[in-house]
Every structure is written in structure tokens, then in C-alpha cells.
């Protein structure tokens, strides 16, 4: 049996998956897959975990230096052998996670694997616990300093930065950055991350571009690209019929949830509504058609999206699905450079993105005549937008921006609009008087 998620609760337990939504400033999310004995954790700032295996009682300690939890200690029950996971503030600058085993069981330290998908996304793979004898009674609840001898677990560092494998970055736009930083000082109650790159020159703006945020509905952008990649491979058809099942219906944005169970739609209509009106039920139907969450996450990783992870179906109101501005820009660069899709699928996907209904974020800062293919996200405490912008003078640039804000505070929207306007005006001035045909394009690196 799988328990139904209640999004107002701080966490939930199901038969196979234990997950905790984003509630702290720096520990964005974590989940433990009991079927695979794997802990998956994401922080919004780079960290290198310190992992130790302790005996008597047997437990795995995962320290996250520099990470502030920002709320009381929590604990979640897991099962009979791996009994509990606790998360608490060990000291002022360290969040500690404890994986507690039942008495009579231990882990082989040589088989515990800790690897980084990125500096903000880590996996801890546990082996099958082994039976032992003579353990003392389990002492549940401690986040206290370690007094028993510890075995240090080696950490496999994450792979190097991936974005330059798609577009050769040139120089940072320092003049633009100073303007944005002045704006940020005025909105210092917001937490933001952004990445913009000029496709004509390779010049870029990177302000916490690899900071991890809840993805909200921007997660639908990589799902859209995965659909069109399968279309190119002949695995799906635009005219095929999808049937809406009860387990895929959800609330939040969209209109398909109001139709009766068993309603039938073309794949074209479903994938279009997923983007244009951000239909959550349509998104779940496309996720299901493409093989499910695990297969999509595997594909995202193969594209070099280090922070983009689906952890739950839509609507993900707790913010467990994650991404970063740089990931969104990398994906758009892959699409723009035709490294993922055929020319036909590229144009079809971009045309769908051009018809996104919400226009209050990046589009609101663009000049007259500009074109944008983009996808927004909004779950109250988090808003974001990512897209490809084409200026009237022919210049193209990519944008990704996320903002944590007080719940539904319109100043978050105003901030994104003003950043968008600063970037647009800056790039417009850079090309003023330069004919499109005379611009020197950077050599892409793939």
C-alpha cells in the first residue's frame, strides 16, 4: 500500500520511499529509497559530506558542513532493519543526518558508497545490512557528538561543470552584474539564483546559477524535451490517444482534472496543455507515458542536468522536485544547438513554449518585438522562469532565474521582471549599430 501524500504535512512515509520536502534554507530536500537502500539529498549551496560509520549502536553519520537546517530536529521511521533517519543541527554550522540500524545489524563500511552528482546533489548507497550479535540496546534520538570509534567513508567527488560542454563561455558581463547586484540589495529578503548567456558572444551572467531550488512547474520543460526526443525515436506519436487514469489526476494548475476519469486526449493536446496552461494532470500523464519518474531522471542525468530531479508526481506543492538556473540554461542550449532534438522537434517544442500563458516573469521585462519560448513555475514560496529570448535585432540569449520569496509576495515577481529588463537593455546596448551579419559567433564546444 502507498500512503497518499498530504502536502501540508512536513514529510511522508510510503512503502518504498521516504521523502522530506524543502523546508530549510540550505537542505533543499532528501529522500530515502528503502527498496534500493539509497539516500538522495540536495542542498542549495555546494557541500562535501563527511560520512562515518559508528558502532554500538550501529548507525551511519552524515555531516553537512556549512549547511544550516533552520528548524528543530526531525525523525522518520523507515523499516525493521534500517529503522530511522534523523535530521538535526549538530552545531551552528553543521547539519547532521543519522541513519539508525536495528540492534543485531551492521553495515560493511567498505560497501557504503558516497558519490556526488554535483556539489549540491549527493547519493549515499547502503549495502544490505548484515546480522551480528552482542549489540547494546538502540539509543534512538541522539544527534550528540560521536564518542565511539568511527570508520570514515570515502567520498567520490562530483564530475566537473557541464555547461561548457554545450556553449563556450566567454567572459562574465561585469557591467550587468553590478546593476543586478544593486537591485538584489534592494530585494535582500529574496533568495535568488540566475544564469543568462548571450549565444552570439558567449558572454554570461552567473549569480548563484548552480544554487538548487524547488523546480515547481519548470520541471515540465525537461519533460517536454524528453517527449519530443521519444517522438524522434519513434517511441511516441503526437496523434496517439492517452487515457486519463484516476491515479494521475491532481489538483493545482490546469483544467484536465475537471474531466471525468477515462477521458481521452491526443498526446499532442496533452503535452501542449502541460506547457501552455501548466496542466499538472497532463504532466503526470506524460510522465507515465514516458516510462515514469526513474527513467526520466536517468535521462536528465545523461543530458548533464546535475540538479534536475523529479521526486514526486505533480502537483509538487512541497517543492521536492528540484533544478537550478544553470541546469535550465544547459537544457535550452542543448535544444537550441540541436544536440537533443531533430530540427522539426526542436521547432515544435519551441512553438509550444512560445505559447506559455503566464507572461508576468521574464516576458514582462522584454522590449517590444522580442520573442520568448519559456516555462514558468510558481508554488507560492518559489517562482521561476527559463527560456530562449530572440531580440528584434536577431540576438539570442538564454535565461534561467529562480526566487524564494515570502508566500505569494508580488515583489518576487517584480524582481524577476526588473532583472529581465536589465539583461535585455544591457544586451540591446551591446549590439546597437552592429549588423547581425557582422557579429562573430563563438565556436560551440560539445
The more confident residue out of 68 and 59 is: 59
Please name each of the domains of the chain with its CATH number: 12-156 (2.60.40), 163-239+303-438 (3.40.710.10)
> Taking a C-beta distance cutoff of 8 angstroms, is the pair 361, 385 a contact?
yes
Cα 327-195-403 angle, rounded to 5 deg: 90
Computed on alpha carbons and rounded to an integer, the radius of gyration of the chain in Å comes to 23
> Taking a C-beta distance cutoff of 8 angstroms, is the pair 246, 313 a contact?
no
Could you read off the pLDDT of 308-330 as tens digits, one per residue? 999 999 999 999 999 999 999 99
Report phi then psi at 208, rounded to 5: 55, 40
Question: How far is Cα 49 from Cα 51, in angstroms, rounded to an integer?
Answer: 6
Instruction: Give the distance, in angstroms, between the CA of residue 30 and the centroid of all CA atoms in the same chain.
Output: 12
Question: What CA–CA distances, in Å, run from 295 to 283, 288, 301, 332?
Answer: 15, 10, 10, 20
pLDDT higher than threshold 60 for residue 381: yes
> Taking a C-beta distance cutoff of 8 angstroms, is the pair 66, 27 a contact?
no
Give residue 137's pLDDT band: very low, low, confident or very high (50, 70, 90): very low
- Sign (positive/negative) of CA torsion 405, 406, 410, 411? negative
Question: How far is Cα 422 from Cα 367, in angstroms, rounded to an integer?
Answer: 11
pLDDT higher than threshold 50 for residue 276: yes
pLDDT at 148 (0 to 100): 56
Could you read off the pLDDT of 219-228 as tens digits, one per residue? 999 999 999 9
Give residue 122's pLDDT band: very low, low, confident or very high (50, 70, 90): confident
Report phi then psi at 242, rounded to 5: -110, 135
pLDDT at 56 (0 to 100): 78
Question: How far is Cα 250 from Cα 313, in angstroms, rounded to an integer?
Answer: 9
pTM of the model: 0.75
Question: How far is Cα 112 from Cα 130, in angstroms, rounded to an integer?
Answer: 13
Question: How far is Cα 432 from Cα 340, in angstroms, rounded to an integer?
Answer: 32
> Taking a C-beta distance cutoff of 8 angstroms, is the pair 37, 128 a contact?
yes
Amino acid at each position: 500500500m502507498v500512503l497518499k501524500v498530504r502536502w501540508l504535512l512536513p514529510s511522508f512515509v510510503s512503502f518504498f520511499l521516504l521523502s522530506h520536502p524543502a523546508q530549510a534554507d540550505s537542505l533543499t530536500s532528501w529522500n530515502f529509497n528503502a527498496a534500493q537502500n539509497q539516500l538522495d539529498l540536495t542542498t542549495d549551496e555546494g557541500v562535501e559530506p563527511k560520512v562515518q560509520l559508528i558502532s554500538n549502536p550501529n548507525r551511519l553519520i552524515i555531516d553537512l558542513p556549512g549547511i544550516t537546517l533552520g528548524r528543530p530536529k526531525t525523525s522518520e521511521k523507515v523499516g525493521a532493519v534500517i529503522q530511522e533517519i534523523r535530521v538535526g543541527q549538530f552545531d551552528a554550522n553543521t547539519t547532521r543526518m543519522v541513519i539508525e540500524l536495528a540492534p543485531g545489524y551492521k553495515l560493511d563500511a567498505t560497501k557504503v558508497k558516497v558519490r556526488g552528482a554535483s556539489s549540491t546533489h549527493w547519493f549515499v548507497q547502503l549495502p544490505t545490512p548484515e546480522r551480528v550479535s552482542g549489540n547494546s540496546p538502540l539509543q534512538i534520538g541522539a544527534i550528540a557528538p560521536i564518542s565511539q570509534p568511527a570508520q570514515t567513508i570515502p567520498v567520490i567527488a562530483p564530475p566537473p561543470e557541464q555547461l561548457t560542454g554545450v556553449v563556450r563561455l566567454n567572459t562574465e558581463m561585469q557591467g550587468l552584474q553590478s546593476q543586478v547586484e544593486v537591485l538584489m540589495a534592494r530585494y535582500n529578503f529574496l533568495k535568488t539564483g540566475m544564469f543568462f548567456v548571450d549565444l552570439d558572444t558567449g558572454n554570461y551572467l552567473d549569480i548563484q546559477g548552480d544554487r538548487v531550488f524547488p523546480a515547481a512547474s519548470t520541471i515540465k520543460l525537461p519533460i517536454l524535451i524528453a517527449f519530443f526526443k521519444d517522438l524522434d525515436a519513434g517511441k511516441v506519436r503526437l496523434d496517439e490517444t492517452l487515457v486519463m487514469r484516476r491515479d494521475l489526476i491532481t489538483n493545482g494548475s490546469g483544467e484536465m482534472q475537471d474531466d471525468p476519469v477515462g477521458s481521452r486526449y491526443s498526446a499532442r493536446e496533452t503535452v501542449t496543455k502541460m506547457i501552455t496552461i501548466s496542466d499538472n494532470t497532463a504532466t503526470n500523464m506524460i510522465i507515465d507515458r514516458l516510462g515514469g519518474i526513474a527513467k526520466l531522471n536517468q535521462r536528465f542525468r545523461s543530458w548533464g542536468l546535475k540538479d534536475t530531479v523529479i521526486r514526486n508526481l505533480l502537483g509538487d506543492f512541497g517543492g521536492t522536485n528540484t533544478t537550478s538556473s544553470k541546469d535550465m540554461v544547459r537544457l535550452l542550449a542543448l535544444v537550441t544547438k540541436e544536440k537533443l532534438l531533430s530540427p522539426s522537434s526542436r521547432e515544435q517544442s519551441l512553438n509550444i513554449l512560445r505559447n506559455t500563458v503566464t507572461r508576468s516573469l521574464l516576458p514582462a521585462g522584454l522590449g517590444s518585438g522580442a520573442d520568448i519560448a519559456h516555462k514558468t513555475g510558481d508554488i507560492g514560496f518559489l517562482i521561476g522562469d527559463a527560456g530562449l529570448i530572440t531580440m528584434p535585432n536577431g540576438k539570442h540569449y538564454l535565461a534561467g532565474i529562480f526566487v524564494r520569496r515570502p508566500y505569494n509576495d508580488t515583489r518576487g515577481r517584480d524582481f524577476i521582471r526588473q532583472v529581465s529588463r536589465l539583461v535585455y537593455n544591457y544586451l540591446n546596448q551591446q549590439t546597437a549599430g552592429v549588423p547581425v551579419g557582422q557579429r562573430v559567433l563563438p565556436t560551440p564546444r560539445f
